[in-house]
Amino acid sequence: MLRIAPLLFLILTSAALAGNYPHRDDFLWVTTPDKSDWIYTLGEDATVSISLFRYGIPQDGVEIRYEIGPEQFPAELNGKLKLDNGHATLPVGTMAEPGFLDIRLQASYQSQTTKHHIKLAFAPEQLSTRTPLPDDFDSFWTKAIAEASMCPMTVERQHVPEFSSDQLDCYLVKIQAYRKGNYVYGYLTIPKGSGPFPIVFSPPGAGIKPMTPEKHLFYAESGFIRFDMEIHGLRPDLDHETYRDINASFGSRENGYLINGLDDRDRYYLKKVYLSCLRALDYLTTLPEWDGKNLIAQGGSQGGALALVTAGLDKRVTACAANHPALAEMAGHLTGQAGGYPHLFTKFEGMDTPDRLATIPYFDVVNFARRIEAPTFMTWGYNDDTCPPTTSYIVYNTLHCEKESLVTPLNEHWVSTETRHAILRWIGEQVK
């Protein structure tokens, strides 16, 4: 799988802080692959140039410890090298199969430790899914949608002055979904004016936590109705202490919602989540302010996964935008390549039972991506350890619809403000 060239490699970040570029850190790592797009062909040797600065000063003679191996798998090479006037060049080898080479480094200076990592792509356009497609996948979801549609839709809506302005009105909405007594919430922002307006449906990232619509108000300010959805039936405006208590009880690794009911496809937590997304569309398409044509699904991480699932299940969706989607290739690690969030087979024990392995394909994003017909935009980074680039490429490569990507190799599990606005610009181009 991995062949290492003679010399060695590089990279780091600040110890107790997550991310390659922690805020207000004394150290700065600069790692530059010898291919500007960080993409190599199979069998092609890669080299990375490394620089380490402290207070902006090159660190001469500092010892770097490195580990190199396939993404999410144990390192196949480790060793040490020294920086010369703050710089080093490290040949890191190649790969014989499509995937990502993960290079991790660490350096110590007095009492401080700094770390950094970088991932290089090898023939990522050849990455393909190893998730099986159940024979009854379509019939399972057709039946589930029909059953969920029998649940009466009741809606409560209250104006939220805090997030409203002279450009938009914000509402906190409660919708009954999936089964009687099961609810989801969301913030609905509607531009002021005569309209009509396109709708952007945006499901949430992972976790049980408060949410506000603040960072996405620019959608309504730009002429889009937007619905930022909550999936757990909890008011998103509860105080942080209450959410901490709820998360401690239902959001921890041992009893987290993403493993709740995984033994049975009809009891798995994500079933009600996926169907609740469709109920949200049922409500949104009744809004008198909607233009009656444009219904876009958009989200990031878990939200990116739910946007893709919604687009795969509901042909009312006219466009889809997803950044670094989770819930893809969830059993990938068992097949010898990187697996997606929530990393069931590396973070949890006892997941590889026949029942759980049988359930996963009914909820894996890849199997919904196969069915998307609407134009789709995706963006992701290479240095993402939460939703690894392997799985984003697999989702993208699986899409058969009109598609476009923005690959930002440097990014970890985040997108910049500019990328957020680039997503909106792409969405605007899809409006008919």
Active site residue ranges: 301, 384, 413
- 17-22 CB contacts, 8 Å cutoff, 24+ apart: 19/412, 20/116, 20/117, 20/118, 20/383, 20/410, 20/412
The number of residues in the chain equals 432
* Residue 90, both tokens: 């490290």
Tell me how far apart the alpha carbons of residues 310 and 274 are, in angstroms, rounded to a whole number.
7
Tell me how far apart the alpha carbons of residues 402 and 247 are, in angstroms, rounded to a whole number.
39
Tell me how far apart the alpha carbons of residues 84 and 3 are, in angstroms, rounded to a whole number.
26
Tell me how far apart the alpha carbons of residues 88 and 92 are, in angstroms, rounded to a whole number.
12
Radius of gyration of the chain (CA): 23
Tell me how far apart the alpha carbons of residues 404 and 409 are, in angstroms, rounded to a whole number.
16
Task: Check whether the bond before 6 is cis (ω within 30° of 0).
Answer: no
Tell me how far apart the alpha carbons of residues 87 and 53 are, in angstroms, rounded to a whole number.
9
